[in-house]
With several copies, the nearest count.
Chain A
Amino acid sequence: MTFDDLRTTWQSQASACQPKIDLPVLLQILQRAKRDFAAMILRRDVLEVAIAFLMFLVFLNDYSDSREWPLLLLASSCLFVGGFMVIDRFLQKRKAPKLFDPLQSCIKESLTAVNHQIWLLKNVFWWYLLPPGIGVLTHYCYIGFKIIPTLESTGAAFGIVCFVCVVGITMMIFWWVYNLNQNAVEKELLPRKQELEQLLENLQ
């Protein structure tokens, strides 16, 4: 058998080997998949940002009530995180991989997106955790230094224990978020990056 015979067999098979498609059901499924996908993107893009801005407003309001400056620091750190996410997603959306591009371009676009994602998560400490972290810790210290000296001895000891607990729990939560992100890099993004690089190399 020659390769051309093989090709003839292949093409004669092609027409026979087709599933029956229920077109109305298919179109309905596609519509729904598109809607679900859009809703998922909206939820992902809007929710986190909305929470950041909501917390900005809450802290700003608290500040306008109490005039304690650490609240202003907290509010602006929330604004920074929210703003950073909005700008980053806007810039990334413009560069999203287009599946109707030639393979080589699409692989390169995907690789750029994955590399950016890796950079973002690896540096999650600097842009996502540090700003509110500084704000929260300053706020705790401010309250601690204001309240504890006014208490009598046993009350002060209890105050210090409370302070240490609260700081500890906060650190734990931050550490957990940090680990979640680094795990995602290790287990999902880096393998994906290697896969794409392999594809690109084979194509060049």
Chain B
Amino acid sequence: MTDKQDNIFTDWLDQHLGLIMHIVRAYAIVPEAREDLFQDILLQLWLSIPNFKGNAKETTWIYRVALNTALVWNRQEKRRQKHQTFLDSFKEIDSQNAGNDSIENLEIINKLYIAIRQLPKTESSIILMHLDGLAYQEMAEVLGITASNVGVKLNRAKKSLGRLMKGLIDDL
């Protein structure tokens, strides 16, 4: 049975993978959700094979299992509870401020954030504090290390940042 089941399954994948991909792409947006849904549909399809007696067309059967899995089947995945919020959604903040500032500056800041996120977390926190204008002594108090150590680390972090933003900043 299991061998036969695997063979049918392989055939179905060969011929009808497109159908499944369409459903996955229509009902799950981010890549992680897509992988989850895709794997879930494949599992349910594989489990359904012993019930497939040839009295239904293959495409009908596959569509049923895939749509039922996407729409009806209660996946374990936790739904995010909607909670009361005290601020305008973060999504709007970025666009909202486009008027206040030049678009060029906004783009620079965006690139800066992308670079900062690629630094090791402690280096990025030093860069953030430096950008916000904290003195070495203050940074040392936040981090719990000596001021001279802060200097060493800040230089290293600036160099990493310079590599990540090549062409944008000249003096790093």
User: Do chains A and B make direct contact within the complex (CB under 8 angstroms)?
Assistant: yes
Q: Mark A127-161, 1 if CB is under 8 A from B, else 0.
A: 00000000000000000000000000000000000
B164 CB within 8 Å of chain A:
no
A83 CB within 8 Å of chain B:
no
| Interface residues of A, dominant DSSP | helix
Contacts of B171 in A (CB 8 A): 2-3
Q: Are B68 and A103 in contact (CB under 8 A)?
A: yes
A177 CB within 8 Å of chain B:
no
Q: Which residues of chain B in 94-119 are interfacial with respect to chain A, using CB atoms and an 8 Å cutoff?
A: 94, 97, 100-101, 105-106, 108-109, 112
Q: Are B86 and A29 in contact (CB under 8 A)?
A: yes
Closest 3 CB pairs of A and B: A102-B144, A104-B144, A14-B18
Nearest Cβ distance between residue B116 and chain A, in whole angstroms?
A: 11
Given A18-B17, A30-B43, A202-B122, output 16 extra A-B contacts at Cβ < 8 Å: A10-B109, A16-B100, A17-B18, A18-B21, A21-B86, A23-B10, A33-B43, A97-B68, A100-B68, A101-B64, A102-B143, A105-B144, A106-B144, A107-B72, A196-B72, A203-B145
Q: Are B158 and A106 in contact (CB under 8 A)?
A: no
Q: Mark A160-191, 1 if CB is under 8 A from B, else 0.
A: 00000000000000000000000000011001
Q: Are A106 and B72 in contact (CB under 8 A)?
A: yes
Q: Are A19 and B72 in contact (CB under 8 A)?
A: no
A residues with CB within 8 A of B:
1-3, 6-7, 9-23, 25-27, 29-30, 33-34, 97-107, 110, 187-188, 191-192, 196, 199, 202-204
A-B contact pairs, 5 of them (CB 8 A): A17-B97, A23-B10, A34-B47, A103-B64, A204-B145
B1 CB within 8 Å of chain A:
no
With A16-B97, A202-B122: A100-B88 Cβ-Cβ less than 8 Å: no
- CB-based nearest A residue for B99: A16
The count of chain B contact residues (Cβ–Cβ below 8 Å) is 65
B residues with CB within 8 A of A:
6, 9-10, 13, 17-18, 21-22, 39, 42-44, 46-48, 51-52, 56, 61, 64-65, 67-69, 71-74, 79, 81, 84, 86-88, 90, 93-94, 97, 100-101, 105-106, 108-109, 112, 120-123, 125, 130-133, 141-145, 158, 168-172
With A6-B108, A17-B97, A107-B72: A100-B43 Cβ-Cβ less than 8 Å: no
Nearest Cβ distance between residue B171 and chain A, in whole angstroms?
A: 5
Q: Are B122 and A203 in contact (CB under 8 A)?
A: yes
